[in-house]
């Protein structure tokens, strides 16, 4: 008896989908679009800034320093017509150490399973060897590809038209869009274009999910962003953040966060704490402001600085602390 019943159910589901499609067409609505959109390109061009701007929410680390993003991070944009899963990636650069090898592996690994690629560049930078390497890989893939020329607010003379011309010659891109995340130029247009090229598809994530990482990950990134902002030279690249506990108080709108900031050498610990604790206090103050905006509660933030000797010089340790993905 169970077989015919299963068959009957399948048929009903298929019929329901057909009916829904007919209904959408009858109402003159466009089909629902969805897909995975990789944001790739050199470091520091504004990939994470772009995704934050589209989401209208600060969830990704942004820095004036290079190599800010360390993982592939999926961020979900929803509107009535589409769900776009943006995949943020570490920026491309000339490999200099073990940490950069890890970052580049993350970036190249992101090409798997994408429905569309956004390649972002700055208008004043020539095509580099790492761009060429990525283009070779992209050429073998069939999905649509856009070039986004960001920071046009800072472009001079004919930099933008020249960049358009240079990249048009590669024959790789279906669309080339000059944008400015800072001024919000052509961001809406980019979303419209993405929707035009994406396939019909389902929602991959529920509406209330913005980032497919645990809350602790997003919190750690915000703290790391402040370290990037306030410290110099090798310090940003010697740091990772581990959020130990996030406790929501039941008696008041307060979130208690306990986190460890790890450095790679004992000498870096003193720098991060600063004279009389000034540096760590400032990191905590700035992080708390962003965390309060993100969580919508007041935040108590407890930061401890610890040493994990040479974690950033060892492949296995890097993979362990920064995650398998």
Q: Footprint of Mg ion on this chain (CB under 5 A)?
A: 47-48, 68-69
Choose from ligand GTP, Mg ion, none: what does 203 bind? Cβ within 5-8 Å by kind: none
CB of 239 to ligand GTP, least distance (A): 15
For the bound state, the minimum distance from the C-beta of residue 281 to ligand GTP, rounded and expressed in Å, comes to 24
Tell me which residue has its CB nearest to ligand GTP: 91
Nearer to Mg ion, 210 or 255 (CB): 210
Helices (H) and strands (E) in the chain, counts: 10, 9
Locate 305 and state its tokens.
């600085």
67 binds, among ligand GTP, Mg ion, none (CB under 5 to 8 A by kind): ligand GTP
Q: Find which of ligand GTP, Mg ion, none residue 182 binds, CB within 5 to 8 Å per kind.
A: ligand GTP
Q: What are the structure tokens assigned to 294, written together?
A: 């993100």
Return the beta strands (E) in 194-280 as ranges: 240-248, 254-263
| Cβ nearer to Mg ion, comparing 91 with 279 | 91
Smallest Cα–Cα separation from 225: which of 113, 44, 92, 60?
60
Smallest distance, ligand GTP to C-beta of residue 224, A? 11
195, with CB counted inside 10 A (0-12, 13-18, 19+), is: middle
Following DSSP, what letter does each residue of 17-43 receive, concatenated? HHHHHHHHHHTTPPPPEEEEEEEE-BT
CB of 153 to ligand GTP, least distance (A): 5
Nearest to 43 by CA among 138, 130, 132, 170: 130
Closest CB 47 distance from Mg ion, rounded Å: 5
Residue carrying the six token digits 């390109």: 41
In the complex with Mg ion, which residue's Cβ is closer, 43 or 163? 43
Residues 6+ apart with CB under 8 A from 261: 223, 227, 239, 240, 241, 272, 280, 283, 303, 304, 305, 306
CB closer to ligand GTP out of 62 and 273: 62
**191, 243 contact by CB (below 8 A):** no
29 CB contacts (<8 Å, ≥6 apart)? none
| Closer residue to Mg ion (CB): 42 or 144 | 42
Nearer to Mg ion, 105 or 249 (CB): 105
Footprint of ligand GTP on this chain (CB under 6 A)? 43-49, 62-64, 66-69, 90-91, 150-151, 153-154, 180-182
Closest approach of Mg ion to the CB of residue 73, in Å = 9
Considering CB distances under 5 to 8 angstroms, the limit depending on partner class, which of Mg ion, ligand GTP, none binds residue 150? ligand GTP
């Amino acid at each position: 008896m169970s077989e015919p019943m299963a068959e009957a159910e399948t048929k009903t589901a298929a019929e329901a989908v057909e009916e829904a499609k007919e209904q959408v067409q009858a109402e003159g609505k466009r089909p629902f679009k969805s897909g995975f959109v990789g944001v790739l390109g050199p470091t520091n061009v504004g990939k994470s800034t772009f995704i934050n701007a589209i989401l209208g929410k600060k969830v990704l680390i942004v820095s004036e320093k290079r190599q800010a993003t360390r993982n592939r991070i999926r961020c979900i944009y929803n509107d009535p017509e589409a769900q776009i899963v943006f995949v943020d990636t570490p920026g491309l650069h000339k490999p200099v150490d073990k940490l950069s090898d890890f970052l580049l592996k993350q970036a190249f690994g992101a090409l798997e399973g994408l429905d569309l690629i956004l390649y972002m560049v700055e208008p004043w930078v020539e095509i580099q060897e790492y761009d060429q390497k990525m283009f070779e890989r992209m050429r073998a893939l069939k999905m649509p590809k856009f070039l986004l020329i960001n920071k046009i607010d800072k472009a001079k003379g004919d930099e933008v038209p020249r960049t358009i011309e240079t990249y048009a010659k590669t024959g790789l891109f279906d669309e080339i869009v000059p944008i400015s995340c800072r001024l919000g130029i052509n961001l809406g247009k980019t979303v419209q274009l993405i929707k035009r090229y994406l396939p019909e598809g389902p929602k991959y994530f529920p509406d209330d999910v913005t980032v497919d990482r645990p809350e602790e990950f997003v919190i750690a990134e915000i703290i790391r962003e402040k370290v990037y902002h306030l410290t110099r030279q090798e310090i940003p690249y010697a740091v990772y953040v581990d959020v130990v506990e996030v406790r929501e108080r039941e008696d008041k709108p307060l979130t208690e966060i306990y986190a460890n900031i790890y450095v790679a050498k004992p000498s870096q610990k003193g720098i991060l704490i600063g004279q009389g604790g000034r540096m760590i206090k400032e990191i905590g103050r700035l992080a708390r402001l962003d965390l309060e905006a993100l969580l919508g509660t007041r935040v108590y933030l407890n930061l401890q600085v610890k040493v994990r000797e040479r974690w950033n010089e060892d492949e296995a340790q890097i993979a362990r602390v920064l995650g398998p993905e």
